[in-house]
Structure 1
């Protein structure tokens, strides 16, 4: 029965001493894995490309908030374009065939785009918090230069942090013996010492708790506004059934914001918990389980355009225009995308 799923383990490089073991999956398993991972990659590329084209093309969408959304989509698109194809081959073949130098470069891009995505999500929560809690002065506080500053911070810090830590060798300083014991020819999994694991975890936890705190306050404001609408509906009959609509609005706000926070938590928490445990317990996580958790983090880049864009009517309308090639009309970029 076991041979129906995978054959006997082989080596990544048969003629090289110290080569990693290779798990030779059956053809059915390999095809299934390539289809699933390929679909996730295409979804990441297609969804985020659609967001970037929509915001760049339609003049009505040229706002500070949407610029942040476009930059977030760019980070996720770059991940799907430069990282996911090689990660797919590594996951299915259980070997790295692209050399040690490119392994480090690939890992740097991986970390850079993922951290950039995290920071963008955090800055978007800041934008929405200001918009909801201070709507009158929001246009003065959150301008295009402010949005550009957030984008610059997200990109520059992510790239500088990832490349400096990995290419200086700071990530495995002090644990060379353990790294040598775990390493083999054909693997591409960077090991981080306890110091950098804690730093990396903080770079995840701080944005996450910031998002939770801000979204909680946004939900509280939405709830208070729904109650005010309900009070108004009880006093003014001409407003109609505002009570029901207020409750629906409250539920919709809770659902949208809840999906964003939960998706971020579900996709990223298993990976960072595993990384922290491994650093303090000598890397006990099985490679297959660790690889699955990595793909969970990647999936957040495919989910982002669904959560932050597909819930908006203007994006659905823009997507229909793009897919139907109506955008080739000269006057299409100025069309009204917002419902009356």
Structure 2
């Protein structure tokens, strides 16, 4: 039997027809995703805020991205969870606009941060001698400001001025809008603009930067192999450690970028195509792809945990409460000049 979100049947959205077992399974899965997102990113935030050794310009960029991902898990995912499982929005029309704006803002801000982190790593790996001169604390804070401000202006402007409906108002109010719903709707022009701003431009920057890093790292590896026949063993080891760290940075960036593309590409491709397909993509599929995109914020801390020993050491100290010990903020987490 068909059930509705509200008593006024003729203008109400249709409630999901899933059984209680299916709903319980979906809620359990989404709660697990939310808790993992919150825990992982909170550990990154605490680690960089607490340990003096981690308070480098690059890590403040990572700290800012972890804050974005934490807020996504805190402010957006719980409400999206109820909407995805119930197919109903119980929190009012005004909060729907606020939630949608924050969702777009934080998702875009996370992607912007990834793009700027790739630029930072490019200079660290490919131009290490001039890295500190080019990527100063001021430059990092400008990156952070851009990563927050542009997505905020774009998201809130788009939703509250209803620019996302521009050119498709009749279609939306006749066939999509219903009482108790809160779907993210884009017309053809706004869908293309959102795709370009939130995904294509920052994603292209990441791809181009990683392409450059990969070939420069390969060239450095070749030069090291050639130099091995000429240099003394001590110098070889010193260069080997330095180049190994650079290759590790390139590999980490590649995996971060790969996770980003796998998580967000399906959603953005469907989002930009949907208006041109006369909104034929099922609502359930769109919801599933949004959650697949959210997973990017869940996986980011896992990448650091897997690749960086300093993260694992900081995690142990936080879990066992050692950060409350005197002078724990000065604890040495790594021996290299940079984590």
**TM-score, normalising length: structure 1:** 0.92
Q: Distance in 2 between matches of 1:246 and 1:59?
A: 23
2:62 to 59, 69, 79: 69
Q: Distance in 1 between matches of 2:84 and 2:34?
A: 13
**TM-score, normalising length: structure 2:** 0.92
Deviation at 1:296, TM superposition (A): 0.8
Which consecutive unaligned segments of at least 5 residues does structure 1 have?
Answer: 1-7
Residue aligning to 1:334: 330
Instruction: Decide whether the 8 Å contact of 2:13 with 2:179 is kept in 1.
Output: yes
- Label 1:94 to 1:206 Cα distance change in 2 as closer, same or farther (>3 A): same
CA RMSD of aligned residues (A): 2.2
Q: Distance in 2 between matches of 1:254 and 1:122?
A: 14
1:185 to 179, 182, 197: 179
1:265 to 243, 261, 266: 261
Matches within 5 A, 1:81-230: 81-180=74-173, 181-203=175-197, 204-230=199-225
1:293 to 289, 295, 301: 289
Deviation at 1:302, TM superposition (A): 0.5
May I ask how many residue pairs the two structures share in their alignment?
333
Instruction: Decide whether the 8 Å contact of 1:226 with 1:250 is kept in 2.
Output: no
Which consecutive unaligned segments of at least 5 residues does structure 2 have?
Answer: none
Between 240-249 and 177-186, report the one with greater CA deviation: 240-249
Instruction: Decide whether the 8 Å contact of 2:125 with 2:249 is kept in 1.
Output: no
Secondary structure of 1:123's partner?
helix
- Label 1:285 to 1:264 Cα distance change in 2 as closer, same or farther (>3 A): same
